[in-house]
Structure 1
Amino acid sequence: MIEKIGREVKLSGDETIVDAGGRTLMPGLIDMHWHSAYANIPMQKGLNSDHAYHLLIAAKGNERALMRGFTTVRDVGGNVFSLAELTDARLYDGPRIFPSGPAISQTSGHTDFRPSTAVPADRNMPLVYMERIGHVMVADGVPDVLKRTREALRMGATQIKINSGGGVSSSFDPLDVSQFTFEETKAAVDAASDWNTYVCTHVFTDEAAQRALSAGVMCLEHGHLFTAETLKMMKEKGAYLSMQPILDDEDAIQFPEGSFSRQKYVEVTRGTDRVYRMARALGVKTVFGTDALFDPELADKQGKLLAKLGRWYTPVEALRQATSTAGELLSLSGPRNPYPDGPLGVIRVGAYADLIIVDGNPLEDLGLVVDADKNFMLIMKDGVIYKDRLGE
């Protein structure tokens, strides 16, 4: 923890002294839409390999994320509870994890990974592998949603992730569809509230977003097709926008040309510029996340994606999305927060000692976060130094 800040601090004699040499000190970065189990694994491997394979790849991927300066991630879909526990125990190096556990979907929803031939569903048939290992859950109707939400909380979820609308990577649902009724969504919110935490949801469109907000969802993931009406509603309710600075450019997710997912991706990225500009003008609380999926090269661009926020925000506004504002949202987990001893994303007495020493000033040059290997001279998490190039 950060115990003291000042030009003159009385030392006991046991401290390690780090001379930053006039460089800039900033908080560790936070990725609010991360998938530890999926980010660094090709899609075919992800869908056709076992849980142990997923987590072994995830452990190596998260180690690289820490070396990019990301000291905390909010994992919004996947059974990564063991990875979170072993990272806290320092058996693996990586960012601390706020796990949502299984993303909860309706039948035909964004994380319904059953094959097209699995219709009509037979309740006596076994769950598909992604459900059996707890990466996803399918629920229909209020009782089922209550049960699945409570199961995710029982597994150790710090917040709940549901799917309120169509998605890009999913095979069957168009972007315009709304998923989960108001009553089903409210059931997830009620179950999470009973555990003193909150619900975030995958959503792109106004109708689905406004239904979720009316039911009490506190964080909307993506939102690239929102209009000002939805953003104003978010502002009124104090909800957070967890959006990704994705464009159809060299950093795009590589879906096959002409595929259903490729068509949806192009539509989504066309809304990025418009929504960021409106959200900033309206003062909507916005956090940074990457949603890197099935591509280790894309996952390695975490810093580059953060720097892309400079198209719409000043450097300090962009960095707050990945530090202090993100920390505020993480605190909504209340007593489910596994790191309750202090705030995250700030340099303040009593906060977690997640610190980066930057060779340069990112408040003047946001591009410094692109190349962490070169520009981040020291990376600390929980007061432990994981990287130190200052001696060079």
Structure 2
Amino acid sequence: MTSSSHASPAFPWRFGPIRAKACACNSAMCQRLHQRVTDDLSRRNFLGGVAAMLAPFALPANAVAATAQANDQRPLLLTNLRLFDGSGKAVRDGVQVLVQGQRIKELLPASATVEGARVLDCQGKLVMPGLIDVHWHTMLAAISQVAAMSSDLGYLYLAAGQEAQRTLMRGFTSVRDAGGPAFALKRAIDEGLVAGPRIFPSGAMISQTSGHGDFRLRSELPRAENAPLSLVESTGVAMIADGEAQVLRRVREQLMLGATQIKMMAGGGVASLYDPLDSTQFSERELRAGVEAASDWNTYVMTHVYTPKGIQRSIRSGVKCIEHGQLADEASVRMMRDEGVWWSLQPFLQDEDSNVYPDPARRASQKEVSEGTVNAYAMAQKHGVKTGWGTDILFNPKNTATQGRQLAKLTRFYDPLTLLGQATGTNGELLALSGMRNPYPGALGRIAAGAWADLLVADGNPAANLDFLADPDKNLRVIMKDGKIHKNTL
């Protein structure tokens, strides 16, 4: 999927017209080369060389591997391992994992044998569930905002497809997409056209005029009744809705397109130019209209919001998950706990992984959110609020590679096992809020009988730290999704 301004020597026809030339296959030079290859390379080295040569072409290689696995219907037994099952409890020894098709069939004692099964010796390494990011922007993470506003949709899908493969290779087997036109990419991944994580798509973010999803320039205002949609609306990034009737229409459109949950903007943000961080967006009646439309489809609404006023308005409206909320006060956090509302927090710590803003106003807002983040993690644990983890990398292609590191660094707030449980089993419970709209019914983020066979084999000790997740290329030795192995360097 990468491009270059130079033609590759492996494809000489790119340099110009093809010129007729006699075949040199029987020349003395070719005969000597053939003999040298035959003499010097063992079958193992030859296959290794072919694998290295094909490495840049990840999609065809994955497709071949997936086809080979699909044709082998035997169960797969993972042996010689240390097990983290996604519960947040201690790592276990003396157990094996049996995978049949796309699911985990059962956990077996280390002494058990399974006749006819393929065996994967995990060499005493850690086996854990695939990671889950519950605030990910599949279509918008790997491109700049300028590219998003100026590129055609085909380019955006190609960039997102490549990033989806990288996301999977970082060990993330499921993501909840928090806004963007991800429906086609989800379908392509589900059908095996491209490798990537499971996507729980929200579709377009629903925003009021002047809200956090209103990306229009001031020169585009005012918009007349029945005027054409703006660019971000026509591409499905966000939809502007004012009043209950418009909210109902826009939410129902996203549900028709296949949204597994709905994202509404209930307050201001740091990155946007025009809506201040302290602003409260959508009236309670408008929020409730969106909640009722989602509830009628047996799913839920999550809201982007930071402030206590916006958090409490969202909860009173029936919202089931607060995204961000770093400026929450004690009353808001207790309200989340009492109403059983989830808190989806991100590590906004104004550190090396943060967005860089040129203007002082947004840097000041970023600092306020960073200070609130430390307080939010403390209050979430103090009051026992159900807490999910996500990254919210947006318009920052350099930062997508930090996805695992942004989990690992949160051991300053949680013990490593609890934190890893949050990014696996707990996040899997949050995904299940989609209810009847869940496209992947069954346990995610767990290693248990009947759960989806999304597994990682890793060099790491989660009882000590999660630093191994910061370098997935080195430390993730096996990546399995749906029972299919996408990487194996054991």
Q: Report the TM-score range of the alignment, normalised by the length of the smaller protein.
A: over 0.9
**Change in CA separation of 1:103 and 1:128 when aligned onto 2, cut-off 3 Å:** same
Give the alignment partner of residue 40 of structure 1, picking from 139, 142, 149.
142
**Take 1:84 and 1:333, find their aligned partners in 2: how far apart are those partners?**
16
Alignment of 1:223-234 (within 5 A): 223-234=325-336
On the 8 A contact 2:132/2:175 being kept in 1, the answer is yes
Q: Which amino acid aligns with 2:265?
A: N
Q: TM-score, length-normalised on structure 2?
A: 0.78
Cα deviation, 1:145-201, whole Å, max 9, x if unaligned, reads 011110010010000000000011111100111000000000000000000001001
Among 230, 252, 275, the residue aligned to 2:376? 275
The residue type paired with residue 181 of structure 1 is S
Q: CA deviation at 1:129?
A: 1.3
Q: Tell me, yes or no, if the aligned pair for 1:362 and 1:369 is still in contact at 8 Å.
A: no
Question: Paired residue for 2:420?
Answer: 319
**For the residues of structure 1 that align with 2:362 and 2:192, how far apart are their CA atoms?**
38
SS in 2 for 1:297: coil
Cα offsets for 1:16-64 (capped at 9, x unmatched): 3110111111110000000011101011111111221111111111111
2:477 aligned partner: 377
> In the alignment, what sits opposite 1:107?
209
Aligned partners of 1:221, 1:350: CA distance in 2, in Å?
30
Deviation, 1:257, is 4.1
Match of 2:445 in 1: 345
* Structure 1 residues 2 and 9: alpha-carbon distance in aligned structure 2, compared to 1, 3 A threshold: farther
> Which residue among 304, 312, 317 is the counterpart of 1:215?
317
Aligned to 1:25, the other structure's residue is in SS state strand
Give the whole-Å Cα distance in 2 for the aligned partners of 1:134 and 1:271.
31
Question: 1:55-110: per-residue Cα shift (whole Å, max 9, x none)?
Answer: 11111111111111000000010011000000011111110100000000000000
Deviates more, 1:249-258 or 1:222-231: 249-258
Amino acid at match of 1:41: I
Question: Residue 199 of structure 1 aligns with which residue?
Answer: 301
Work out the CA distance in 2 between the residues paired with 1:184 and 1:18: 53
1-structure distance, mates of 2:309, 2:226: 34
Residue 365 of structure 1: aligned partner: 465
Q: How many residue pairs align between the two structures?
A: 387
Aligned partner of 2:197 in structure 1 is 95
- What does residue range 65-80 of structure 1 map to in structure 2 within 5 Å? 65-80=167-182
Q: Detail structure 1 runs of 4+ shifted over 4 Å in the superposition.
A: none
Higher relative contact order, structure no. (Cα contacts within 8 Å, ≥ 6 residues apart): 1
For structure 1, the 5+ residue unaligned runs are none
> What's the counterpart of residue 148 of structure 1?
250
Stretches of structure 2 that go unaligned for 5 or more consecutive residues are: 1-102
Deviations 1:298-354 (A, max 9, x none): 1110011001210100111211221111111111111111111x1100000000000
8 Å contact from structure 2 (residues 265, 305) kept in 1: yes
1:130 alignment partner in structure 2? 232
SS for the counterpart of 1:130 is helix
The CA RMSD over aligned residues, in Å, is 1.1
> Match of 1:242?
344
Alpha-carbon distance between aligned partners in 1 of 2:190 and 2:330, rounded to the nearest angstrom: 41
C-alpha separation between the residues in 2 aligned to 1:363 and 1:160?
36
TM-score under structure 1 length normalisation: 0.97
1:106, 1:179 within 8 Å by CA — same for their partners in 2?
A: yes
1:37, 1:254 → 2: CA distance?
Answer: 20
What is the letter of the counterpart of residue 180 of structure 1? F
- Cα separation, 1, equivalents of 2:122 and 2:114: 17
CA contact (8 A) 1:165 1:208 kept: yes
Find the counterpart in structure 1 of residue 267 from structure 2.
Answer: 165
Task: Supply the AA of the counterpart residue of 1:238.
Answer: G
Q: Secondary structure at the match of 1:347?
A: coil
> In structure 1, how many angstroms separate the alpha carbons of the residues matched to 2:118 and 2:168?
21
Provide the identity percentage.
Answer: 50
